[in-house]
Amino acid sequence: MKNLEKMRTKAAKLQAPTPVELPSGSWRCQIMVGGERISVVEEDPVLAHTKALAIKAGLIQKAEAVEEITVGTAIDRYIESKDAVLSPATVAGYRRIRAHAFPELMPVRLRQLTQEAVQRAVNRMARSKSPKSVRNAHGLLSAALSVYRPGLHLRTTLPQKRRYEASVPDLDELPALLTAVRGTRVELPVLLALCLGLRASEIRGITWDAVEGDILHIRRAIVEGPDGPAEKGTKTSAGERRLPLPKPILELIQQQPHTDDYIVHMSGQAMYKAFSHALKKAGLPHYRFHDLRHANASVMLALGIPDKYAQERMGHATDNMLQQVYQHTLSSQRAKVDAKVDAYFTEILLHTDLHTEG
């Protein structure tokens, strides 16, 4: 791009900002005006640079520049403004939405965007994507518009949520599963998820100094960020917790090669694939790796563990998530409960004269 090279040379002489290409393909120029850092993001680097110079020179106001930007640029700006405070996984998710959702809206200027156009884009996406995906994409769009076009209040009709009914490994299936993973790379991750209820990201974030005698201190996680694996704190403050390590798991940890700070060297995708292979080997139904965490909560429910303690073990700030999402009835336990209830009422019916004369 010869024009861009000429512009960069001229910008250097004028001490003007140089456009920087963002991962989304847009271009950003940053300037300081009155002590405030302003980012100008455009699809075209020359346009971004020109507007940045015009704002710096006072030829146009910041608000005037904003109303001309596209929806895609507004979302880029929004993501950039939050990348220091959001989880790397959240930022990566936002960038995926930016790249794939509502393509017909991205080149539209903010001043030209209408509620009808948003509704049509949502309708189109809803035909091929899950309600959750549509709602997440609309949420990001709405958040960006609240900053860069606050006058447009979206009242979009969104697809109804579908409640996910997780299928968790039953108690009768656990021996076959544990036999299938024994001696494999995924054995330790499976035991940590099943017995301690850890998330895959928490398992990846366990370091050797987190093992304090027979206690495991959960205090960090590794997630997939926009630039690859990234270390972060626990999902919530309640996520930092200490859990007793059962002897078999502690011994398995001690057997792991001590090559660096981390104990488990598997990505989330690698855990899922290895777990799926073990299920197939054991002749068991398909489950997600995260369903092991669901199974842990369900076992605590079956054992009568009070919600407060179950909540603390799983690292939830409140018991709402535990009750609404994670606790499921195990089919083997449900059968015992059904039999017990049926026996009670059968006994009543057998000893009650239902044909008394009135």
What pLDDT does residue 262 have? 96
Residues 283 and 205 in one domain: yes
Among candidate residues 46, 66, 86, the one where a domain is terminated: 66
Residues 275 and 308 in one domain: yes
Residues 214 and 326 in one domain: yes
Among candidate residues 115, 148, 181, the one where a domain is terminated: 148
Residue 89 included in any domain: yes
Nearest to 65 by CA among 42, 94, 36, 46: 42
Nearby residues of 248 by Cβ (< 8 Å), 6 or more positions away: 191
pLDDT along the chain (358 residues), means of 10: 59 64 77 77 82 80 67 94 86 95 96 95 96 96 91 92 73 90 95 93 96 94 87 78 91 94 95 96 93 84 78 74 56 63 64 51
Q: Which domain holds residue 22?
A: 2-66
Q: Identify whether the C-beta of residue 192 lies closer than 8 Å to the C-beta of residue 203.
A: yes
What pLDDT does residue 172 have? 86
Nearest to 327 by CA among 291, 301, 288: 301
What pLDDT does residue 354 have? 47
Residues 55 and 114 in one domain: no
**pLDDT (tens digit, 9 = 90+) per residue, 147-187?**
888 888 899 999 998 766 667 888 889 899 999 999 999 99
DSSP 91-104: HHHHHHHHHHS-TT
Residues 276 and 295 in one domain: yes
Residues 326 and 231 in one domain: yes
Among candidate residues 25, 41, 66, the one where a domain is terminated: 66
Residues 199 and 327 in one domain: yes
Helix or strand (DSSP H, E) at 40: strand 36-42
Chain centre distance of CA 109:
30
What pLDDT does residue 14 have? 47
Residues 325 and 258 in one domain: yes
Task: List the structure tokens of 74.
Answer: 């507004």
Residue 112 included in any domain: yes
CATH of the domain at 230: 1.10.443.10
Residue 300 included in any domain: yes
DSSP annotation of 305: -
**pLDDT (tens digit, 9 = 90+) per residue, 220-233?**
999 888 888 988 88
The count of domains in the chain is: 3
Phi, psi of 209 (to 5 degrees): -75, -5
Q: Give the span between the Cα atoms of 154 and 149, in whole angstroms.
A: 11
Q: Is 35 helix (H, G, I), strand (E, B) or coil?
A: coil
Nearest to 220 by CA among 91, 230, 228, 291: 230
Residue 180 included in any domain: yes
Q: Give the span between the Cα atoms of 168 and 344, in whole angstroms.
A: 29
Nearest to 32 by CA among 45, 11, 43, 16: 16
Residue 268 included in any domain: yes
Residues 179 and 309 in one domain: yes
What pLDDT does residue 22 have? 76
Residues 269 and 192 in one domain: yes
Residue 143 included in any domain: yes
CA separation (Å) from 140 to 71, 76, 165, 201, 345?
11, 11, 26, 24, 53
Residue 162 included in any domain: no
What pLDDT does residue 358 have? 44
Residues 190 and 325 in one domain: yes
Residues 193 and 293 in one domain: yes
Q: Identify whether the C-beta of residue 103 lies closer than 8 Å to the C-beta of residue 117.
A: no
CATH of the domain at 126: 1.10.150
Nearest to 206 by CA among 226, 186, 229, 222: 222
DSSP 238-261: GG-EEEEPPHHHHHHHHTS--SSS
Residue 339 included in any domain: no
Q: Is 70 helix (H, G, I), strand (E, B) or coil?
A: strand
Task: List the structure tokens of 25.
Answer: 């393909």
